[in-house]
Amino acid sequence: MRRAKISIIGAGNVGATCAHWCAAGELGDVILLDVPQTENMPKSKALDLMQASPIMGYDSALSGTNDYADTANSDVVVITAGIARKPGMSRDDLLSTNAKIVTSVAENVKSTSPNAVVIAVSNPLDAMVQRAFQVLGFPSHRVIGQAGVLDTARFRAFIAMELGVSVEDVSAMLMGGHGDTMVPIASCTSVGGIPVSHLIPDDRMAQIVQRTRDGGAEIVSLLKTGSAYYAPAAATAQMVEAIVRDKKRLIPVAALCNKEYGVGGYYVGVPVILGSNGVEKIIELSLTSSEQAAFQKSVDAVKSLVATMETLLKG
């Protein structure tokens, strides 16, 4: 049986850690690519991971390269390329630089892996996946963004920490843009089947929601010289697994919504069924009036971000 070919564009902390998770899970053979200026960096990381395989017992093949030709005919392409946030820098500050980087990556992926499912991870996520879609010209179901899985994981972790319970018993859903305007869906959040509202007071829950929104910034402020990578990489690997193993996972991702939720042609975080074809179905929830208002606010923020990106690219 042919193993899936997974190419990760950007061999920094997120890309290399994603390669680690994918290889350890034997999701396929992994190619790490970075720009020529990095010389042998992606090769060294791939070789290091390959040498770990006898110890950890995984048979995935790993290789590193600076040449997109080596990624040809990938089943899944993960785009992590871009500069990372530094203390005091918002996701929006990354907009111009990373939009140009993602444009270049997408142009190369379009010519080398025209049938791939593409997962954008670069920040600011909602704008970067929109840009990748614009350049790739792929069907929208094969271009998706990783954000909702990460945001939901952070939310679940904080709830588990608050209650002193296993993270396995916490189920949650977050929608909207990645960052300050993400929307927790209270009706879809429970612990062991018990609605979270029965366990955590509203005022405390509001604090947990805010910490989730600030999850990335909190890590940036602690690290000083970088941004989160373990959880973002793990979230991306979960999406890769859903695709290469056709698992039909119902998870939140940044998907192109046209008539869905009345969005009108933008990538925002929504629950989807994720399988071998990418987004196989967008799940439309019945939101409360407050959830709908918060979601619309988040969508408006995404639209503004995309408009700013397009203005910067034209300039």
* Structure confidence by residue, pLDDT tens digits, 268-282: 999 999 999 999 999
Which one of 129, 145, 161 terminates a domain?
Answer: 145
Number of structural domains the chain divides into: 2
Tell me whether residue 109 is in a domain. Answer: yes
Question: Are residues 295 and 169 part of one domain?
Answer: yes
Which residues have C-beta within 8 Å of that of residue 47, sequence separation ≥ 6?
Answer: 62, 64
Question: Are residues 86 and 28 part of one domain?
Answer: yes
Our answer to whether residue 178 is catalytic in this structure is yes
Tell me whether residue 91 is in a domain. Answer: yes
- The model's pLDDT over 256-268, given as tens digits with 9 standing for 90+, comes to 999 999 999 999 9
Question: Are residues 85 and 26 part of one domain?
Answer: yes
Query: How many CB atoms sit inside 10 A of residue 41's CB?
Result: 17
Question: Are residues 257 and 183 part of one domain?
Answer: yes
Kindly report the CATH number assigned to the domain that includes residue 77: 3.40.50.720
CB 252 within 8 A of CB 269: yes
- The model's pLDDT over 277-298, given as tens digits with 9 standing for 90+, comes to 999 999 999 999 999 999 999 9
Which one of 145, 163, 197 terminates a domain?
Answer: 145
Question: Are residues 301 and 156 part of one domain?
Answer: yes
Look at residue 61 in the predicted model and tell me its pLDDT.
Answer: 96
- The model's pLDDT over 48-63, given as tens digits with 9 standing for 90+, comes to 999 999 999 999 999 9
Range of the domain at 280: 148-309
pLDDT tens digits for the chain (315 residues)? 679 999 999 999 999 999 999 999 999 999 999 997 888 999 999 999 999 999 999 999 999 999 999 999 999 999 999 987 666 766 567 798 999 999 999 999 999 999 999 999 999 999 999 999 999 999 999 999 998 999 999 999 999 999 999 999 999 999 999 878 899 898 899 999 999 999 999 999 999 999 999 998 899 899 988 889 999 999 999 999 999 999 999 999 999 999 999 999 999 999 999 999 999 999 999 999 999 999 999 999 999 999 999 998 887
Tell me whether residue 40 is in a domain. Answer: yes
Question: Are residues 158 and 265 part of one domain?
Answer: yes
Look at residue 39 in the predicted model and tell me its pLDDT.
Answer: 83
Tell me whether residue 315 is in a domain. Answer: no
Catalytic residue (choose from 20, 141, 178, 198) = 178
Question: Are residues 100 and 89 part of one domain?
Answer: yes
Look at residue 45 in the predicted model and tell me its pLDDT.
Answer: 97
Look at residue 175 in the predicted model and tell me its pLDDT.
Answer: 96
Look at residue 37 in the predicted model and tell me its pLDDT.
Answer: 83
Question: Are residues 131 and 172 part of one domain?
Answer: no
Question: Are residues 256 and 191 part of one domain?
Answer: yes
Look at residue 314 in the predicted model and tell me its pLDDT.
Answer: 86
Tell me whether residue 164 is in a domain. Answer: yes
Prediction pTM value: 0.95
Tell me whether residue 190 is in a domain. Answer: yes
Look at residue 75 in the predicted model and tell me its pLDDT.
Answer: 98
Tell me whether residue 314 is in a domain. Answer: no
Which one of 96, 127, 145 terminates a domain?
Answer: 145
